[in-house]
Chains A and B, each alone.
Chain A
Amino acid sequence: NAGVTQTPKFQVLKTGQSMTLQCAQDMNHNSMYWYRQDPGMGLRLIYYSASEGTTDKGEVPNGYNVSRLNKREFSLRLESAAPSQTSVYFCASRVPTGGGDNSPLHFGNGTRLTVT
């Protein structure tokens, strides 16, 4: 039972490079999320997808794009990486079909991204 799988675990980029963070869940969850975690700031929502085919901006969407490829997969793309995007990125999912509103988030193990 894999849960939420994120790749890669670590990445170093140079300013201006692009990359895509991959996320897949096998729990038949409807909603998927991308958060970034920075010291002293907790987790801040970048984008989320309430269901397949929809995406919405969160608190800090600038510099990012997302794709909800299908129900399982939700990718996060940095088109032109900046040092301010150095962070730990978490993908999460919740709410199985027929699940309750109080369903918790299930998180991946995170990607540590450094932009030099």
Chain B
Amino acid sequence: AQTVTQSQPEMSVQEAETVTLSCTYDTSESNYYLFWYKQPPSRQMILVIRQEAYKQQNATENRFSVNFQKAAKSFSLKISDSQLGDTAMYFCAFMKHAVGDYKLSFGAGTTVTVRA
């Protein structure tokens, strides 16, 4: 079974500043996928960014970028120019690349509060 660890239960950041959320995972697989999801107070789960393990280039989506370190099994999320609407809980998720096995494992989440 895969384990996903988010070691920061809560983070606080000033508006327009940068915050980095950590995520580590444990797997013996060589090919897999990683995701960050955002859950605002509305409870809706929203995909923020995804990364394929076979790609060395770090994924970027507007103000969101990841630092994927495969050897270290680390997948951190950087939020640049933080906005009040970024206030949410953020979940890191892992899915191995295996036909017929489509389970996603989630970390415990990090609550991010953006201060005005």
Contact = CB atoms under 8 A, between A and B. Distances in A.
Q: Do A and B come from one complex?
A: yes
Interface residues of B, number: 27
A104 interface: yes
B102 A95 contact: yes
B44 A107 contact: yes
A102 B109 CA distance: 21
Given A40-B9, A88-B43, A90-B45, A105 B52 contact: no
22 contacts: A33-B104, A35-B106, A42-B6, A42-B106, A42-B108, A43-B106, A45-B104, A45-B105, A58-B103, A59-B1, A59-B105, A88-B43, A90-B45, A92-B45, A101-B33, A102-B50, A105-B37, A105-B45, A105-B93, A107-B45, A109-B43, A109-B44
B43 A105 contact: no
A41 B108 contact: yes
A109 B44 CA distance: 5
A61 to B, nearest CB: 12
Interface of B: 1, 4, 6, 9, 33, 35, 37, 42-45, 47, 50, 52, 91, 93, 97, 100-109
A68 interface: no
B86 to A, nearest CB: 19
B103 A40 contact: no
Contacts of B107: 42
Contacts of A105: 35, 37, 45, 47, 93, 104
Interface string A34-66: 010000111111001010000000110000000
A76 to B, nearest CB: 16
A58 B103 CA distance: 8
Given A101-B97, A104-B50, A109-B44, A50 B35 contact: no
A94 B95 CA distance: 12
A40 B8 CA distance: 11
A75 interface: no
Nearest to A94: B102
Contact of B103 (A42, A45, A110): A45
Contacts of A59: 1, 105
A35 B108 CA distance: 13
